[in-house]
Amino acid sequence: MQVFLQGLLFGFVYIAPIGMQNLFVVSTAIEQPLKRAIRVALIVILFDTSLSLACFYGVGKILQSTPWLELTVLLVGSLLVFYIGWSLLKQKEAAMDTMDTNFSYKTAIITAFSVAWLNPQALIDGSVLLAAFRVSLPTNLTHFFMMGVIIASIIWFIGLTGVISKFKHLMQPRVLLWINRVCGAVIILYGVKLLATFVTKI
């Protein structure tokens, strides 16, 4: 249960910062009816979780069989986590874009795929961060961690869509800024954990 909750918390702080996926979900919720926005959120969840699974099990498995590479990823991963967390903490503004009102599911699918699988930052961060967490966990508990990450993705994107749809007339960039700052603080704590694992394995 502890590993599941760890994955759940990591999932939230990993996807909550306002990036391309969240901007797409937010702008869809602002421009489209709730039911349509929920369907788009489900599409985003599909691509988000498939990317997370690929990063965690694909890259992570390779690292587990290569000790020197495992240590390298843990060190680089912890430094990257610190950098991401600090970047979010020192943010002074968070912009919120909108989507074209000419809607089509084909375009939504292509966009959802692009902001996940064709986003270099998501690929790099996902591979390094999730792979680093995989090598820091006991092998028999890794599935529970990923269950937490996937459930966090579902809760976050559906919840974000629902909240934005209901209160879109009240949303201000400052709210998004504080979400980022809170996530930044939690991500830095994860960086400490990864660095501690690196030191232990040395």
The answer to whether the predicted template modeling score (pTM) of the entire model surpasses 0.85 is no
Residues 144-186 pLDDT 10s: 999 999 999 999 999 999 998 888 777 666 766 776 677 678 7
pLDDT (0 to 100) of residue 120 = 56
Identify whether the C-beta of residue 30 lies closer than 8 Å to the C-beta of residue 53: no
Q: How far apart are CA 127 and CA 104, in angstroms?
A: 31
pLDDT (0 to 100) of residue 125 = 72
pLDDT (0 to 100) of residue 61 = 63
Give me the residues of the chain with pLDDT under 50, please: 95-100
pLDDT (0 to 100) of residue 97 = 47
